[in-house]
Amino acid sequence: MHYYLHGANFMSDLTTEFIAKEVSIKEGMVELLLIDGSLHAFPVHYYPRLASASPAQLRKVQLRVGGRALRWEEFDEDIWIADAVLQRYPNAGHLTVAESPQQTYPRP
């Protein structure tokens, strides 16, 4: 399975609306299928409130705001789809685009 970052130009992405039509949880990853057909994914451990959640708890995710946000009631966690697609994760200063779920990089 391949994951793509929507577009190559982040400046143009600032005006793009990212809307998910499906969300699924697979092997510690949140997978998003957007209405444009693109597939995006991120590791749940990027979000501290979700990091220790069980697979069953993670599957309780809901699409909200017309597909523009994810919501986990149990954890009081909301994630904007645009933030996930544009890789604006919490504490993102130590992450890289090519990072795998098992790797971490110290902050410089």
Q: Identify whether the C-beta of residue 90 lies closer than 8 Å to the C-beta of residue 49.
A: no
Q: What average pLDDT is seen over the chain?
A: 80
Where do the domains of the chain lie, and which CATH numbers do they carry? 10-94 (3.30.2020.40)
**pLDDT value at 67 more than 60:** yes
> pLDDT value at position 90?
86
Minimum mean pLDDT among 48-52, 59-63, 69-73: which range?
48-52
Lowest mean pLDDT among 3-12, 27-36, 67-76, 81-90: 3-12
Would you list the DSSP string of 65-93?
GGGTEEEEGGGTEEEEHHHHHTT--TTGG
C-alpha 106: how far from chain center: 21
**106 or 30: which carries more pLDDT confidence?**
30
Asked if pLDDT for residue 62 goes beyond 90, the answer is yes
